[in-house]
């Protein structure tokens, strides 16, 4: 696609529910990143994929968070047993190759846990 | 202390003014990114640089690796430049885009 597409743009859920957030990166971008931005803060790294594999998942806050990228393109961030503290904007970004390259960000998925 | 610090946190300018936003970092980096985020909007990459200076339109970014400092300049500022400007670094040699972000500078340009 022309840009990085994230769905849904907004998600409101109840505490304890399961949530999936989807990211469709720019076609051909092998690197895909998930970041989380809480209100008034800068984004924080969650996980990085190079192709299909999670090259670095050190930013995932706990085992309720999981992400996949089975075909090396679309990625899904999965959050189990959501908590109010999970409320944030979840940003996806993609870039060429494995090095430090120009990133293209999606518009984000705003998650609100009631 | 944050590994990436920006100043000022808030900046108000009159249309036409020359604007400078500063970024200092305390870790070794392979690249530094300047990003723009409009209120309620997505993040747009403005520059990625590892040395010297880059220019795009009215925007100029410089970096001094020895001093671990970068500046973003906006010439002839315009109200549409109002946004949050974020400095972020790719840590280490040959590192990925696992970025460490600064807290951002909120710029308001008044007509």
Span A51-67, mean pLDDT? 93
Q: How confident is the model at residue A114 (pLDDT cuts 50, 70, 90)?
A: very high
Average pLDDT over chain A, rounded to an integer = 93
Tell whether the model's pLDDT for residue A98 goes beyond 80: no
Contact B101 A43 (CB under 8 A): yes
Rounded distance, CA A21 to CA A109, Å? 7
On chain A, the residues whose CB falls within 8 A of the CB of B86 are 42-43
Listed as ranges, residues in chain B with pLDDT below 70 are: 1, 92-95
Task: Give the tens place of pLDDT for each residue, B34-56.
Answer: 999 988 778 899 999 999 999 99
Query: Residue A43, class by beta-carbon neighbours within 10 Å (0-12 exposed, 13-18 middle, 19+ buried)?
Result: buried
B59 to chain A, closest Cα gap in Å: 17
The pLDDT of residue B95 is 61
Identify the residue with better confidence: B41 or A62.
A62
- Mutate one of A43, A100, A106 to test the B interface: name it (highest B CB count within 10 A): A100
Q: Quick one: pLDDT band at residue A1, thresholds 50, 70, 90?
A: low
Residue A27: Cβ-neighbour burial (10 angstroms; 0-12, 13-18, 19+)? exposed
Question: What does residue A11 show for φ and ψ, rounded to 5 degrees?
Answer: -140, 125
Q: What does the alpha-carbon distance between residue B74 and residue A14 come to, in Å, rounded to a whole number?
A: 44
What is the structure's pLDDT at A89? 95
Q: What percent of chain A is modeled with pLDDT above 70?
A: 98
Question: What's the pLDDT at B94?
Answer: 58
């Amino acid at each position: 696609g022309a840009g990085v597409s994230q769905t849904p743009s907004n998600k409101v859920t109840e505490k304890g529910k399961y949530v999936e957030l989807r990211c469709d990166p720019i076609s051909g971008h092998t690197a895909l990143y998930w970041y989380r931005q809480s209100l008034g803060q800068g984004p924080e790294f969650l996980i990085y994929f190079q192709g299909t594999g999670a090259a670095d998942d050190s930013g995932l806050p706990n085992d309720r968070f999981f992400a996949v990228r089975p075909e090396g393109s679309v990625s899904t961030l999965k959050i189990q047993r959501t908590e109010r503290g999970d409320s944030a904007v979840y940003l996806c970004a993609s870039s060429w190759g494995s090095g430090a390259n120009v990133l293209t960000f999606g518009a984000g998925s705003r998650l609100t846990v009631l | 202390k944050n590994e990436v610090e920006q100043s000022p946190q808030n900046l108000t300018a009159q249309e036409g003014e020359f604007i400078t936003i500063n970024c200092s970092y305390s870790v070794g980096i392979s690249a530094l990114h300047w990003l723009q985020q409009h209120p309620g909007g997505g993040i747009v990459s403005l520059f990625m640089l590892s040395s010297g200076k880059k220019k795009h339109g009215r925007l100029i970014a410089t970096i001094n690796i020895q001093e671990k400092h970068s500046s973003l300049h906006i010439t002839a500022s315009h109200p549409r430049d109002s946004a949050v400007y974020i400095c972020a670094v790719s840590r280490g040699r040959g590192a990925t885009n696992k970025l460490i972000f600064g807290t951002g500078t909120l710029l308001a340009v008044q007509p």
